[in-house]
Amino acid sequence: MGGESVSTASTTNGTTPYSVPAGVATKAQNIYFHEGNLSRDEREALMGHKGATIWMTGLSGSGKSTVAVAFEQVLHQRGIHAYRLDGDNVRFGLNKNLGFSAEDRAENIRRIGEVAKLFADAGMVVITSFISPYKADRDAARELHKAAGLAFYEVHVNCPLEEAEKRDPKGLYKKARAGQIKGFTGIDDPFEAPEQAEIDLRTDQLSVEQAVQVMLDKLEEGGILSAAGSQV
């Protein structure tokens, strides 16, 4: 009746949402994964499509949230169960105790990676829009999904710094240039651009509608969606 070890548990489709990649330590000891009676395949059959995480990364002002909002709406219109996790929004609740140090940024992304994995395991398409500037943190989120057998699409919302700073929708670049914000990505903290993202969106060249279509095409190509709607 007992569950399997958190690092070795498996389901009918090969893994649990809590599979832990090799070398990842947890503080808790003597914990066991409690297996349920529903498989991922059964949840996806109910949803009518596969679950996946769409991980949008890019500079502040690159258009992540704008494209994510539009993409979520289009998926909803097509009958796809989707949910958007926004970088600012989660800091009002789940991550309200985190700042913007390198350590806090890493923990911010670690938590979102775990939450996104749960959404995807439930059969939803989760859209995350986070600057997520460090490659190691994004790679860790990818590995979480890989270990759980879940689809993960990294989307580089690719906008030149000059254009993002020109847009400056929140006035943050202006504050960073004035020294009012320290450790601001692109100004005095690095953005490590993805080298092999599944999707590259040049938002200085594409309209929002065009960017959404690029993402839809990629999910159709990957079997997450079908051209007519959804697919299991």
- Catalytic sites, residue numbers: 129
Distances (CA, A) of 232 to 18, 43, 61, 146: 22, 10, 35, 19
> What is the token pair recorded at 202?
């040049």
CB-based contacts of 11: which residues, under 8 Å, 6+ apart?
Answer: 35, 39, 40
How far apart (Å, rounded) are the C-alpha atoms in residues 141 and 117? 8
Q: Are 127 and 70 in contact (CB under 8 A)?
A: no
- Strand locations in the chain, DSSP E? 4-5, 32-33, 52-57, 82-86, 125-129, 151-158, 199-202, 225-226, 229-230
AA letter at 107: E
